[in-house]
């Protein structure tokens, strides 16, 4: 029997399949080989792309993660019990993407863009892929515009710029989310007519909740609505009850929303709460997909998981419109261990960190920021001139206080200069305490820090410092409103403004002593 050559075989097959040209392409459909734990192995789909969405029966969607030689590993965004062996899987020819547009503001959605707030379908302009290569150095410019958080300790000592990535790190229940929510609420002032007058551009916010309890997310949304911040905020929610694949893609979906604003010459702030839970979800997926485990059972590419996400935060060059995307990732540590695997990874990717300490929190210092190891690698570039001028000595004063405080516990005979340093430090610590969800305007922060660092609080009892600050602001607004107006207008602390602050302070101290 004559042997058939390979080219003849393909010709025969083509002839046999010629009648099916208008039918489904044989490459477009696959079969489920195995399913369970939110993972499906599929035979076929030989032309499928990595990160492509695929359709399973019963309305379940999946995403392709593993492209093996004989099968495709997909993760499921729905209930895996609805799928069984032998089910048909269809390609969608669409990479995992997220709907973006102005109408997404004020909405709570899941990482696929489906509404969770009961306000009807989400109106959007277009779909954008959730994974995108970060822009290169040429397309960026240095971070130089401040992003005011309204938290005195942060804006004065650990300033954040538009386009920066600043890590918020600490144990559970130390106030990490509170700092992020304060930062969102404080952006309300950027959306006012007054801000437009002073050349401050609005900041649009995205809050990504990963692995949080549903009740916690509901509380955050309620707080944002109560303070009027939902008008310029989108919440992407992947709670602890949602499948691991949704928790894994949630930060990328949130970044896509932020990039939509950034690429249209606007400013956006995205908060990932928190990335340690995303890493756990990714570890779960990777182990189920039989990817080789590495340190602490995380897969080898867990660093790339966060670096490709956080690299997308940037300040664009003027040629590209000068928009910015600022990222505030949150990482939870176990008993203050910042040298654990995921915390060290994210610390090395970001441009600084705000470290929150349980001991300070329990001692009533809130926000519980450890000024010693908290740092911003952008620094003074992300501050207005007035803040840079007054905050210069603040960190040093606090460092001296912390050092002397330890000695003061043992020694009883302290000289006058040591007692003075301790007194000043105690008053500064008190001055930097701040209530939750009450962000302060930057001009008021500057005046407060000026009074603290220039010894105007010496005659005020430590317990009265916060009352003094509050009442002084009210007094200055009524009698010397030009102090705040001058700082807002010029963004500098000029000699005539300093003279006014001194005059107002001396006048007020006399009144305060009598009261």
> What are the φ/ψ torsions at residue 484 (nearest 5 degrees)?
-70, -40
Token pair for 353: 């960190």
Which residues are tagged catalytic?
377
Surface-to-core class of residue 137, CB atoms within 10 Å of its CB (0-12 exposed, 13-18 middle, 19+ buried): exposed
> What are the φ/ψ torsions at residue 425 (nearest 5 degrees)?
-60, -45
The CA-based dihedral angle spanning residues 250, 251, 254, 255, taken in that order and rounded to the nearest 10 degrees: -150
Instruction: Classify 452 as helix, strand or coil.
Output: helix
Distance, CA of 228 to CA of 221 (rounded, Å): 10
Token pair for 28: 């477009």
Output the CA torsion sign for 342, 436, 186, 396: negative
Beta strand 352-356 with 167-170 is: parallel
Distance, CA of 201 to CA of 269 (rounded, Å): 13
Is 458 in contact with 424 (CB distance < 8 Å)?
yes
Nearest CA to 226 out of 262, 263, 185, 265 is that of 185
Is 92 in contact with 53 (CB distance < 8 Å)?
yes
Distance, CA of 130 to CA of 199 (rounded, Å): 32
Q: Which residues contact 8 (CB under 8 A, 6 or more apart)?
A: none
Distance, CA of 341 to CA of 280 (rounded, Å): 12
Surface-to-core class of residue 2, CB atoms within 10 Å of its CB (0-12 exposed, 13-18 middle, 19+ buried): exposed
Distance, CA of 234 to CA of 108 (rounded, Å): 6
Token pair for 270: 């995205």
Is 478 in contact with 507 (CB distance < 8 Å)?
no
Give residue 345's Cα distance to chain centre: 16
């Amino acid at each position: 029997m004559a042997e058939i050559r390979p080219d003849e075989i393909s010709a025969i097959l083509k002839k046999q399949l010629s009648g099916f040209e208008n039918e489904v392409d044989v490459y477009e459909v696959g079969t489920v080989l195995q399913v369970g734990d939110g993972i499906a192995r599929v035979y076929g789909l030989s032309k499928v792309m990595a990160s492509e969405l695929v359709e399973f029966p019963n309305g379940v969607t999946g995403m392709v993660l593993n492209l093996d030689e004989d099968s495709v590993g997909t993760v499921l965004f729905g209930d895996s019990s609805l799928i069984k062996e032998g089910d048909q899987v269809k390609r969608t020819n669409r990479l995992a993407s997220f709907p973006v547009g102005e109408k997404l503001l004020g909405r709570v959605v899941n990482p696929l863009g489906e509404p969770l707030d009961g306000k009807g379908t989400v109106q959007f302009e277009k779909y954008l892929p959730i994974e995108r290569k970060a822009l290169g150095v040429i397309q960026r410019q240095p971070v130089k515009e401040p992003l005011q958080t309204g938290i005195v300790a942060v804006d004065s000592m650990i300033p954040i710029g538009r386009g920066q990535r600043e890590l918020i790190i600490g144990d559970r229940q130390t106030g990490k989310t509170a700092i992020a929510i304060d930062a969102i609420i404080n952006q309300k002032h950027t959306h006012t007519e007054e801000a437009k007058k002073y050349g401050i551009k609005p900041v649009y916010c995205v809050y990504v909740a990963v692995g949080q309890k549903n009740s916690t997310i509901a509380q955050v949304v309620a707080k944002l609505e109560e303070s009027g911040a939902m008008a310029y905020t989108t919440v992407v929610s992947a709670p602890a009850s949602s499948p691991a694949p949704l928790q894994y893609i949630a930060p990328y979906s949130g970044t896509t929303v932020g990039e939509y604003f950034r690429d249209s010459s606007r400013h956006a702030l995205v908060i990932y709460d928190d990335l340690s839970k995303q890493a756990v979800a990714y570890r779960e997926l990777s182990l189920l997909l039989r990817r080789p485990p590495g340190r602490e059972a995380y897969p080898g590419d867990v660093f790339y998981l966060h670096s490709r996400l956080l690299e997308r935060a940037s300040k664009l060059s003027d040629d590209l419109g000068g928009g910015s995307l600022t990222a505030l990732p949150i990482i939870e540590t176990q008993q203050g261990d910042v040298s654990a695997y995921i915390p060290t990874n994210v610390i090395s990717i970001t441009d600084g960190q705000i470290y929150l300490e349980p001991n300070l929190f329990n001692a009533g210092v809130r926000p519980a920021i450890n000024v010693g190891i908290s740092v911003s690698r952008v620094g003074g570039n992300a501050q207005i001139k007035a803040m840079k001028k007054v905050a210069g000595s603040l960190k040093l004063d606090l460092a001296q206080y912390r050092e002397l405080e330890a000695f003061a516990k043992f020694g009883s005979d302290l000289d006058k200069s040591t007692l003075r340093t301790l007194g000043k430090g105690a008053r500064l610590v008190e001055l930097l305490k701040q209530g939750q969800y009450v962000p302060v305007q930057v001009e008021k922060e500057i005046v407060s820090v000026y009074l603290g660092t220039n010894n105007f609080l010496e005659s005020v009892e430590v317990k009265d410092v916060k009352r003094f600050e509050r009442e002084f602001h009210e007094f200055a607004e009524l009698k010397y409103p030009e102090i705040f107006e001058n700082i807002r207008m010029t963004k500098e602390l000029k000699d005539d403004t300093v003279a006014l602050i001194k005059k107002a302070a001396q006048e007020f101290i006399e009144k305060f002593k009598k009261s």
